[in-house]
Amino acid sequence: MQTYQIEIDRQNAKNRMVSVTLLQSLLKVLVEGSKGALRLRTEGRSAIRGTPPKWIKTATQFALELQGNQLRIDSPTLNEATPELFQKTDWFPELNAEWTSLDYFQESLTASLNKEMADSLYDKPLLHIFQGFRHVFNQGANQILLLNGNGKPITPETLSVFKELEGSLPSPGQVKVAGVLEVIRIHDRTFKMITGPNEHVIKGITQPINQKEAQGLLNKEVLVSGMGYFTISGKVLRIEAEHISVAGEHERALWEKLPIPIPYQSKPNELPNELPVKPVPQIEEEVIVGDQKPENENHEETAKWVERLP
């Protein structure tokens, strides 16, 4: 169990009573942000409609104590929260089992405020969650200081950074890319592939797939086609694959380059791997983990992007 201290600078600091609504708003950002940060690192996306996996809900169960203007929060490490996953399996090698969900939340929050850190640590839904601090300020807080983080206060002015980043993220688009399928996991449908001569790593999420199909693709040169999502610097954050197949020599040569969003093309006549088209709405089925439910993926952003194309 790790203990975190959060200092709440309030407009009426002399009043010993703290608004319940203020605390509710703050805790919502912390809990939802922690869930999103964990999901982003394991799935490449921080949010999707429906109930999060059961292990993420367990890892974000906090205990708290309020002393004056300081909120003390106890959070279990991933090992303590779900030992059946982190002590007995290697399902999530990308996570440090000695970290808590709040550690990952703070890392993503810091990355969004620090241009020197990786821009793959946040995405549009997570930035939207961070903007939820505005409700805390609306309830009388001047600033929030995460004492266990980098010490940088969150203020009403900080909200403009999150909003600007959210608006600057490239729109998703249809892509194709070839590479070696290094990892594919059945339980959460995530995969990792290595592309091109520089061995770039691309993460993604595939359609429901059985063990036999996965084994037939693992460690082979494959062609992945689907919806690409990008970081603010134009790097691939993830690909939500609609189709994965073994790639032939011609396909490998044609699609070995990393996909890029249209606004990042350096030459007017140079096209990305595939121009985005209006996708046919499809139902994306989630693997049931605990009480997790299937849900539909929303492609409205892509449709708006297509309409803006010349």
* Segments forming the whole domain that contains residue 244: 173-308
Together in a domain, 107 and 59: yes
Together in a domain, 206 and 162: no
Q: Which of 120, 150, 168 is the last residue of a domain?
A: 168
Residue 284 to residue 18: CA distance in whole angstroms = 43
- Quick one: pLDDT at residue 288? 30
Which residue, 149, 5, 26, 152, is CA-closest to 70? 5
Q: Are 136 and 145 in contact (CB under 8 A)?
A: no
Q: How many domains does the chain have?
A: 2
Together in a domain, 195 and 124: no
Tens-of-pLDDT digits for all 310 residues of the chain? Answer: 999 999 999 877 677 778 899 999 999 999 999 999 999 999 999 998 888 899 999 999 999 999 888 899 999 999 999 999 898 788 898 999 999 999 999 999 999 999 889 999 999 999 999 999 999 999 999 999 987 766 678 999 999 999 999 999 999 999 999 999 999 998 889 999 999 777 899 999 999 999 999 999 999 999 999 999 999 999 999 999 999 999 999 999 999 888 888 765 544 333 334 334 334 343 333 333 333 333 333 444 434 433 433 3
Task: List the CATH number of the domain containing 206.
Answer: 2.40.50.110
Exposure on the CB side of residue 100, measured as CA atoms within 13 A = 20
Q: Which of 168, 187, 204 is the last residue of a domain?
A: 168
- Quick one: pLDDT at residue 87? 86
- Quick one: pLDDT at residue 58? 96
- Quick one: pLDDT at residue 275? 36
- Quick one: pLDDT at residue 277? 39
Together in a domain, 161 and 181: no
Together in a domain, 141 and 30: yes
pTM score of the predicted model: 0.81
Cα torsion angle, 266, 269, 270, 273, sign? positive
Question: Read out DSSP for 103-124?
Answer: HHHHHHHHHHH-TTS-GGG--H
Together in a domain, 64 and 135: yes
